[in-house]
Chain A
């Protein structure tokens, strides 16, 4: 199935940044939603370098009193679904309404031989946690994930 996603804006991208023992993720986008989606892609990329197919959809919801804590909750929801369903996710759709987030994850079951997953994320943390909009209007969403 092809996920019914909005086309990405030119600002959409993600990156990893180094942290002592773990790994930092940062997503960029035209909106907080897009930055959150890109941060989720960075999380998958921390686990596998292989291509992941967007075959199965999983809905998640979470809430938190501010946008930064909401990013941690979003990534922790993703980590939870990865662990319980033994899946990896390739594409994401996020809707934020105040303190609430509704998201859809698109992915496939882990295939150890093909995905050769490197590390299992334990949880998103409050370290280097920042959700902000820069002067050019680009949103970024970042934190360190404990692996």
Chain B
């Protein structure tokens, strides 16, 4: 992206001044190198989002932003229904409620390293991953509705999770306002045998060592200790979310004209929040959020069983579970007054600062854990939300490293076998059914996650608490 097109606000923030159809400015949080490396499409998509009806304050762009579908991936935009605000299927994304959770283990990394091959093999056999895999649970119609209503609470009630997890999950494990009756039969059919499956692409389950503590007081409160191991899962609402996204995108594109919405890009498919389609999408999307929360809870259950086999009696509490593809109703102060807004985060993590009422008591004085997945084989971070993020980005931060290279280019450059061998030599075991999938997800096909989190920290969105290094990575 050309720096000349932006106004520099400070060392970590840049502005796209409103022009043409833009109703608000665009604000990009990144350092100079990240901005230069960003696709021009991010600029174009930010301008388009800033032109949508009812957008409030600004379209924000996170440091890991890249070319997305309508919205840039790494885009945050809030809409006010009282001012004609819209909800966008593209602004939530194909993988509704894709997110990350991290489980603490209290186990020393050297204890895992001693059994590393066996633990990797057990996880590979117990975590259904990749194309053609099936979950261990097939949902009958009544159970499907209950899962879509109940989210992680449903999974816990079925015995596929732990009650203490719930307060550590966004929305306490269950998104209110879900309408399973607005979810199509095809979407339900696609999910029937996919509960507790990991999927493929950039989704993973990793066993990671806490390699470095960067904020000792917060790390202590989060239960993160150097040298200990955590389990991190990155996954979403599987086929159900994908099907809902595709169906509503089409419906919103076809209806746009009759709803009086001019779409600069079909991918920006949206509808007024208060319209019939908008309300139906919100009900279905919230059901998909519950599906994602239930799915991550079940995957955790499988992973915990493996861990307890090797480390009997291990206490495996959830640090936090947070989504990065959502639209949520939140109250934010804008221009000195509180407003109820529909906040879209597409490839951006909610990052509430200290004192936020939605955080459980143990976390409230410190802020919300913000879980950032790096690329396979490199590193990940745990950050904590900063109070200032409220005014800077509607309390949002980055979500990952972000791709630097297409799958196509990665395939031409690397062999999956070679990557698996090189990482094994560095102490990272990869387990995947597809060597080609590993090549497409090559560590160097991603941006430097450290540069991304440093930019988020400099911008005052979230600050680093701990750096995590992978030991085992299960990929689809």
Contact = CB atoms under 8 A, between A and B. Distances in A.
Interface of A: 16-23, 47, 49, 64-65, 69, 72-73, 76, 79-80, 82-84, 86, 109-113, 115-120, 122-127, 129, 146-147
Q: Which 10 A-B pairs have the closest CB atoms?
A: A110-B132, A117-B131, A18-B406, A118-B436, A126-B266, A20-B67, A118-B437, A18-B408, A122-B242, A123-B246
B354 to A, nearest CB: 33
Interface in B222-267: 239, 242-243, 245-246, 249-250, 253-254, 265-267
A132 to B, nearest CB: 16
B67 A86 contact: no
B403 interface: yes
Given A65-B254, A122-B94, A125-B69, A23 B408 contact: yes
Nearest to A62: B250
Contact of B94 (A17, A18, A49, A123): A123
Contacts of A111: 132
Given A84-B189, A112-B132, 4 more contacts: A86-B134, A112-B131, A116-B436, A123-B245
5 contacts: A21-B73, A23-B407, A86-B132, A117-B434, A117-B437
B98 to A, nearest CB: 10
B31 interface: no
Interface string B185-206: 0100110001000011110000
Contacts of B403: 20-21
Contact of B132 (A65, A117, A124, A146): A117
Contacts of A110: 131-132
A119 B435 contact: no
Contacts of A86: 131-132, 134
Given A17-B408, A116-B436, A126-B253, A47 B131 contact: yes
Nearest to B403: A21
Interface of B: 39, 41, 66-69, 73, 94-95, 130-134, 186, 189-190, 194, 199-202, 239, 242-243, 245-246, 249-250, 253-254, 265-267, 269, 403, 406-409, 433-437, 440, 476
A117 B250 CA distance: 28
Contacts of B437: 116-119
Contacts of B434: 116-119
B130 A120 contact: yes
Nearest to B239: A83
Nearest to B202: A21
B267 A126 contact: yes
A20 to B, nearest CB: 4
A109 B95 CA distance: 25
Q: Which interface residue of A115, A124, A146 has the most chain B CB atoms within 10 A?
A: A146
Given A80-B186, A80-B243, A126 B436 contact: no
Contact of A69 (B194, B199, B253, B409): B253
Q: Which interface residue of B134, B189, B190, B434 has the most chain A CB atoms within 10 A?
A: B434
B201 A120 contact: yes
A89 B67 CA distance: 29
B385 to A, nearest CB: 25
A13 to B, nearest CB: 17
A66 B396 CA distance: 38
A120 B133 CA distance: 11
A98 to B, nearest CB: 16
A22 B254 contact: no
A115 B67 CA distance: 30
A110 B133 CA distance: 9
Nearest to B130: A117
Contacts of A109: 132
Q: Which interface residue of B41, B194, B409, B433 has the most chain A CB atoms within 10 A?
A: B433
A18 B408 CA distance: 6
Nearest to A68: B266
A125 B134 contact: no
B277 to A, nearest CB: 16
B400 to A, nearest CB: 10
A20 B406 CA distance: 5
Contacts of A82: 131
Q: Which interface residue of A17, A19, A20, A147 has the most chain B CB atoms within 10 A?
A: A20
B66 A73 contact: no
Contact of B200 (A20, A22, A72, A119): A119
Contact of B433 (A20, A116, A122): A116
B267 A127 contact: yes
A117 B249 CA distance: 27
Contacts of B409: 18
Contacts of B266: 126, 129
A69 B265 CA distance: 13
A20 B190 contact: no
A119 B200 CA distance: 6
A45 to B, nearest CB: 11
B137 to A, nearest CB: 16
Contact of A49 (B69, B73, B130, B436): B436
A111 B185 CA distance: 27
Contact of A16 (B67, B242, B408, B435): B408
Contacts of A22: 407
Contact of B69 (A64, A118, A119, A127): A127
A65 B266 CA distance: 14
Contacts of A79: 242
Nearest to B67: A20
A47 to B, nearest CB: 6
Contacts of B243: 80, 123
